[in-house]
A and B are shown apart, each in its own frame.
Chain A
Amino acid sequence: METVASFYETPEPARFTGIWSWLLTLDHKRIGLMYLFAILFWFLLAVLLGGVLRLELMFPGETILSPGLYNSAFTLHGVIMIFLFIIPALPAIFGNFFLPIHIGADDVYFPKLNLLSWYLYMAGGGIAIFSLFSDGFADTGWTFYVPFSISTNTNVSTTVFAAFVLGFSSMLTGLNFITTVHKMRDRAMGWLQIPLFTWSLYATAWVQLLATPIIAITLVLVMIERFFNVGLFDPARGGDPILYQHLFWMYSHPAVYIMILPGMGVISEIIPVFARKSIFGYKAIVGSSLAIAIAGSLVWAHHMYTSGMSDTAVFVFSLLTYVVAIPSAIKVFSWVATLYKGAIEMTPPLFFSLCFIYLFSVGGLTGLVLGAAGANIHVHDTHFVVAHFHFTMFGGTGFAFFAALHYWWPKMFGRMYDFKKAYIAAILVTGGFMFHYVPMFILGLQGMPRRYYDYLPQYANGNFFAGFGALFMILGIGLMVANLLVSLSRPRNAGPDPWGGVTLEWTIPSPPPVHNFVRPPEIMAYPYDFSGVTDRSAQRPKGE
């Protein structure tokens, strides 16, 4: 492969240099990297906040956080993790970087809008931080439930406004991706030749575009109610608090699929590469992505079984919830079937992917417990829900994020990381994860409520063990990030295709040139044909 200058050496537009070549860049890859470092910052901050919360809960009684501070800390943890990490992480970083490359394009359709999305993301984060130092951060939890969010004296309005701005960033990214896939796809690439990660981003983008306006307007309504005392949701003023929950979850449940669908796309990319085998059920995976996007948008009220809504609604939404399990199960089956009789080569990205399959499956199956209205009544608002949510979102999207980092890091930076440290980090994170969240399932079944800074003596052992697991997990995350960052000081040694991948990003240099393709891309008839791939493990730099 010929030597060409990478996008690091070639600003776009060319007239900007230094810091301006980043802050005013229109290059989708630079914008993706700017998202990467901003999102990593927020992620690590929220991880530390989570650690502080678990430290408070390790021992009964008030230890390091007062009740009010505990409320604000878990709200901040939730807001950052949801709005600043999980929702944007995979689409904004890896989607921005790889979606255009996957479809043979040199950029997204609206590069300036893409940069605006990043600024909106940064502004949203900045406003959230600002609210910390004005009248105190919101203490409502990330759900901002009324009527408490209307009556509390903390700075709910600013926090809600931050989420509103972040919603715009998400919508514009979705709009950009949909348009890019339709308008900039290589002419030789049909719909069923698109890589599965890009398919998942496409399905996600529709949910981002259609569902996000609902939460945006709902949050504006909360602000209107706080500022002008209009009786929209407050029952004391003739409002309907359950309506708020409908509107909130109308977005926030599909948002769960905004979070997980790109993660499923990542796993669908990684598994066939390291099984050296075509993905099992390509069309079924594409169909299930769309089915999850559609069906997942119609099950929001399963968060509301105990809210007082009608029994008919409880029945209908419980039934619909079970429907979503089908396309999710199709994906898990396809990944496992792909591994079956594959020439499997273990690498850090595959290790994280395998952990994903296991953890996400546990999260999904416990979701069925919560989806069943009868069982839900007993475990609603307990630690069982916290454990389930973290198994799906952290065990799912979080581990997919780690897998994506380790899979595409050599392509983004041209440098390979240390495998041994990556494995140790992965084992620490996974082991810590299990130790952290499994006790929460048990605590929840025993009846320990969520969002309490203190608990009864019978919950002491479970909370102690959970806190212990959290420390291991944080240690593993720190090691993982450090290992990746240290690799940046090494020479660019990764080569264009260190894994033996066959999608288009592996046909161009690492890191890619500014316009991605030096020559017109060759579109394969089928995106996962490994017949020409040879074993790369012997030649691959190990990052030592």
Chain B
Amino acid sequence: MEHASHIFSYKTLGLVLGALLVLTGVTVGASYIDLGWVNVWIALVIASAKASLVLVVFMHMNSAGKGVVVSFLSTVFFLAIMIGFIFWDVAFR
């Protein structure tokens, strides 16, 4: 079947679900430790990792067409710029 390679096993899906929950816990835990501006980057990195897992495994981005992948990467790039530009303000207040 053409789409067979796109289907992940229940075990994989369960592992990803577990990873998402663990990463959520890490985010909450990290928020209790005051690391200054590093806190924001930790939260962003964890959130990006979680979003990537959802996109690759649950939304099958790994087997999507070129157009979809390029569109997705554009949105990531755009979002990164938007968030990054806020630091022109936050980092220099």
B78 interface hit (Cβ, 8 Å): yes
Residues in B whose Cβ lies below 8 Å from that of A311: 92
Q: In the complex, A214→B90 CA distance in Å? A: 18
Distance of A459 Cα from B82 Cα, bound (Å): 40
Select which of B74, B78, B79, B88 is within 8 A of A316 by beta carbon: B88
Binary per-residue interface labels of chain B (30-56) against chain A in the complex, 1 for a CB within 8 Å, 0 otherwise:
000000000000000000000000000
> How distant is the Cα of A250 from the Cα of B92 in the complex, in angstroms?
19
Docked pose: A214 CA to B85 CA in angstroms: 15
Contact residues in B for A310 (Cβ distance below 8 Å): 88-93
Smallest Cβ-Cβ distance to A316: which chain B residue: B88
Number of interface residues of A (CB under 8 A): 18
Does B75 sit within 8 A of A, measured CB to CB? yes
- B residues in contact with A243, CB < 8 Å: 86
Minimum Cβ distance to chain B for residue A322 (Å): 16
Q: Is the CB of A313 within 8 A of B89?
A: yes
Q: Does B81 contact A (CB under 8 A)?
A: yes
* B78–A309 touching, CB < 8 Å: no
What mask results when residues 306 to 325 of chain A are scored 1 for a CB within 8 Å of chain B, else 0?
00011111001100000000
Q: Would you give the 0/1 interface string for B54-93, flagging 1 where the beta carbon is closer than 8 Å to chain A?
A: 0000000000000100010011001101100110111111
Q: Nearest CB to that of B79 among chain A residues? A: A210
Chain A residue at smallest Cβ distance from B90 = A310
B49 shortest CB reach to chain A, Å: 20
Does B88 contact A312, Cβ atoms closer than 8 Å?
Answer: yes
Q: Which residues of A contact B78 (CB under 8 A)?
A: 210, 297
- Cβ of A246 within 8 Å of any chain B Cβ, yes or no, is yes
- What is the CA–CA distance of A210 and B91 in the complex, to the nearest angstrom? 25
In the complex with contacts A182-B67, A210-B75, A312-B81 CB distance below 8 A = no
Q: How far is the CA of A311 from the CA of B88 in the complex (A)?
A: 9
Say how far A254's CB is from chain B's closest CB, in angstroms. Answer: 10
Q: Which residues from A are CB-within-8-Å of B91?
A: 310, 312
Q: Enumerate chain B residues within 8 angstroms of A182, measured Cβ to Cβ.
A: 67
| Interface presence of A298 (CB below 8 A) | yes
Residues of A311-370 whose CB lies within 8 A of B: 311-313, 316-317
- Given A182-B67, A250-B82: A313 in contact with B88 (beta carbons within 8 A): yes
Contact of A309 among B71, B79, B89 (CB under 8 A): B89
Q: In the complex, what's the smallest C-beta–C-beta distance from B54 to chain A, in angstroms? A: 16
Residue from A242, A310, A316, A317 having most chain B Cβ neighbours under 10 A: A310
Residues of B within 8 A of A279 (CB): none
B92 touches A298 (CB 8 A): no
**Which residues on the B side are within 8 Å of A480 (C-beta)?**
none
- Is residue A73 contacting chain B, with contact meaning CB distance below 8 A? no
Contact A242 B82 (CB under 8 A): no
The verdict on A246 contacting B86 (CB below 8 Å), with A210-B78, A309-B93, A310-B93 known, is: yes
- Establish whether residues A312 and B92, one from each chain, have CB atoms under 8 Å apart when the complex forms: yes
Q: Is A508 an interface residue (CB 8 A)?
A: no
Looking at the complex, which one of A246, A298, A301 makes contact with B81 (CB distance below 8 Å)?
A298
Cβ A242 vs Cβ B89 within 8 A? yes
Complex CA distance for A223 and B68, rounded to whole angstroms: 33
A251 to B, closest residue via Cβ = B82
**B82 in contact with A313 (CB, 8 Å):** no
Bound: A310/B92 CA distance, A: 6
- Give a binary string over A88-131; 1 marks a CB under 8 Å from any B CB, 0 the rest: 00000000000000000000000000000000000000000000
The residue in chain A whose Cβ has the minimal distance to the Cβ of B82 is A250
Chain B contacts to A: CB under 8 angstroms:
67, 71, 74-75, 78-79, 81-82, 85-86, 88-93
Pairs A–B under 8 Å by Cβ, sample size 30? A182-B67, A210-B74, A210-B75, A210-B78, A210-B79, A214-B82, A243-B86, A246-B86, A250-B82, A297-B78, A297-B82, A298-B81, A298-B85, A301-B88, A301-B89, A309-B89, A309-B93, A310-B89, A310-B90, A310-B91, A310-B92, A310-B93, A312-B88, A312-B89, A312-B91, A313-B88, A313-B89, A313-B92, A316-B85, A316-B88
Given contacts A210-B74, A316-B85, 12 further A-B contacts (CB under 8 A): A178-B71, A182-B67, A210-B78, A214-B82, A243-B86, A297-B82, A298-B85, A301-B88, A309-B93, A312-B89, A313-B88, A313-B89
A positions within 8 Å CB-CB of B = 178, 182, 210, 214, 242-243, 246, 250, 297-298, 301, 309-313, 316-317
Q: Which 8 A-B pairs have the closest CB atoms?
A: A310-B92, A313-B89, A312-B92, A313-B88, A309-B89, A310-B93, A316-B88, A310-B89
